[in-house]
Amino acid sequence: MIPATFEYVRAKSVREAVSLLQQHGGRAKLLAGGHSLLPLMKLRLSQPEVLIDLGPVEELRGVREEGSSVVIGAMTTHDELASSPLVRERVPLLAECAAQIGDVQVRNRGTLGGSLAHADPAADYPAAVLVLDAQMECEGPAGARTVPVSQWFVDMLTTALRPDEVLCRVRVPAQTRGQGWSYTKLPHPASGYSLLGVACLLSVDGGTVREARVAITGVGPKALRLPKVEQALAGKPADEASFAEAAKLASDGLDATDDLYASAEYKRHLAAVYTKRGLLRALERVRQ
């Protein structure tokens, strides 16, 4: 449980971090909160020769409102998101998701950007940012670029982030009136990781579902939207019967995988259960 020898560097700016990534190529790794990377290093599943600490980079921290969006620095911690008055008011789904991550120690050290760049298949944020249509703002040698969340998650532990780029900010459209939201999960009893998590964003007009967005995490190699569920709900009454019928489609085409904690068959069953549960919870909030 001892990492291989590595060089440690503290970056003072995003530009310096990008320069260091260029200098060291694939031999370097960025360090954010460290909850994902350091265990891999201790097991020697990851053996970077250089560790670039983003902790001192103040420009990667903080939450602010820009027009109809909330912009969140990549080094903002889970606890800062969960407790931010701005996030709780303008993007309450993200605050609810952040509050369910790990334990107190994890929430006070782990970061939004670190989680999204690592793309653990059992992470919580991916489902939430998918239904929120977030955008990832990155910076590399060629300058800044924005990646829509629909293109961000490529495969297990793989994203669209390039090896010489830094994820700087996450831009999230603010939720609007008439929307209900929920993030419901079955947590692993020890780690708090999501054995299965479902994020829902529900727009209701006159008792009818105008739009539904549903995403799932924890069941396969990456988080994904559930388009069949979303299509089945459009234009239907916003009630338990409609949700139950639509939730049956949650496992259709779902690339569920067996693991130490649950079989693929059980995960498909849970997908329907938690989708219905999440939709009902979202509907309660529309009516509040």
Same domain for 39 and 65?
A: no
For residue 168 the two structure tokens come to 């700087």
Q: Model-level pTM?
A: 0.95
Ranges in the chain, pLDDT < 50 = none
| Percent of the chain predicted with pLDDT > 90 | 88
**pLDDT score for 134:** 98
Q: What is the domain range of residue 190?
A: 179-286
Got the DSSP string for 99-133?
HTSS-HHHHHH-BHHHHHHHT-TT-SHHHHHHHTT
C-beta of residue 73 within 8 angstroms of C-beta of residue 63: yes
- Report d(CA 128, CA 198) in Å as an integer: 8
pLDDT tens digit sequence for 93-147: 999 999 999 999 999 999 999 999 999 999 999 999 999 999 999 999 999 999 9
* pLDDT on residue 117: 97
Ramachandran quadrant class, 282 (left: phi over 0; alpha: psi -120 to 50; beta: rest): alpha
> Sheet harboring 194-205: ordered strands across?
179-187, 194-205, 208-217, 224-225
Q: How many domains does the chain have?
A: 3
Contact 68, 27 (CB under 8 A): no
Domain with residue 97: its CATH number is: 3.30.465.10
* Structural domain contains residue 246: yes
88 and 103 inside one domain: yes
**CA 53/CA 29 separation, integer angstroms:** 9
Residue 25: the pLDDT is 86
Q: What is the pLDDT of residue 261?
A: 84
Given this model, what pLDDT does residue 288 score?
Answer: 54
